[in-house]
Amino acid sequence: MFRFGAILAGGLVLSACDGPLSALQPEGPAARGIGTLWWIMLVAGTAIFLAVAAVLVLAFVRPAWLRRFGGTRLILWGGLVVPLVVLAGLVTAAFALGERVLVVRQDEALRIEAMARRWSWHFRYPGGHETVDLLHLPAGRDVDIVLTSEDVIHGFWVPRLGGKLDAIPGHTNIIRLRADRPGTYGGVCAEYCGIGHAPMRFSVEAHEPEAFARAVGLPPDEAGGMAADGEGGR
């Protein structure tokens, strides 16, 4: 009975790792970087937990071993040196990743404007075409999503493609996304914005270049050469 329950619980937990909103199934460089950092933190966190648990068990089972190691040395290593090394590694990884995710000193990319309002997402493409709660992307290309809001602060998040960024009234934020291959991904509002926050979702469809041009009403020959003519200022 216990084994059955454990398998059921484990299955339930693991099933949460799948699906259109799973950050553990990255489909783009930004999300992959975040996923890597998540795995590093999981492994490091597990190792720290096991080490602390081991010391705790030793304190009960073999107190003499700890005494021989010395109280001061235990505090110095366990409380200072090891946490500092672990934290320094994590901070370095996070800084390096943050620099890559931010859109600075990088090439121009296709720009799509995203306007959030309670409680829907409005996307506008270079040719002027607009969609609601559905974002079309060309697969395999960098796209800058120029975010802003009409009313309150919202949060733009496509977990399988990249990190979160706030959509703020009167201000534009830019997040760079790239979908490695065509497919449909989920997006959510990641900043509480009122009674309609939870259902404020949108879909992201990544297409081949020709299909993307068709979807947003652009002539097919323009699909390849519209990198720099997006609208919206930085």
Report the interface residues with other proteins, using CB under 8 A: 87-88, 91, 95, 98-99, 102-105, 171, 173-174, 234
Nearest CB to other proteins, comparing residues 11 and 233: 233
Nearest CB to other proteins, comparing residues 171 and 181: 171
The minimum distance between CB 115 and other proteins, in angstroms, equals: 18
Nearest CB to other proteins, comparing residues 33 and 216: 33
The minimum distance between CB 123 and other proteins, in angstroms, equals: 19
The minimum distance between CB 2 and other proteins, in angstroms, equals: 45
Beta strands (DSSP E) in the chain are 110-117, 120-124, 130-132, 134-138, 143-149, 154-157, 164-167, 173-177, 183-189, 201-207
CA distance 145 to 123: 9
Residues sharing a CB contact under 8 Å with residue 73, sequence separation 6 or more, in sequence order: none
Nearest CB to other proteins, comparing residues 152 and 218: 152
Nearest CB to other proteins, comparing residues 54 and 87: 87
Please state whether beta strands 120-124 and 110-117 pair in parallel, antiparallel, or not at all (unpaired). Answer: antiparallel
CA distance 150 to 166: 12
The minimum distance between CB 71 and other proteins, in angstroms, equals: 16
Residue at token pair 């977990």: 159
The minimum distance between CB 39 and other proteins, in angstroms, equals: 23
Residues sharing a CB contact under 8 Å with residue 166, sequence separation 6 or more, in sequence order: 147, 153, 154, 155, 156, 173, 191
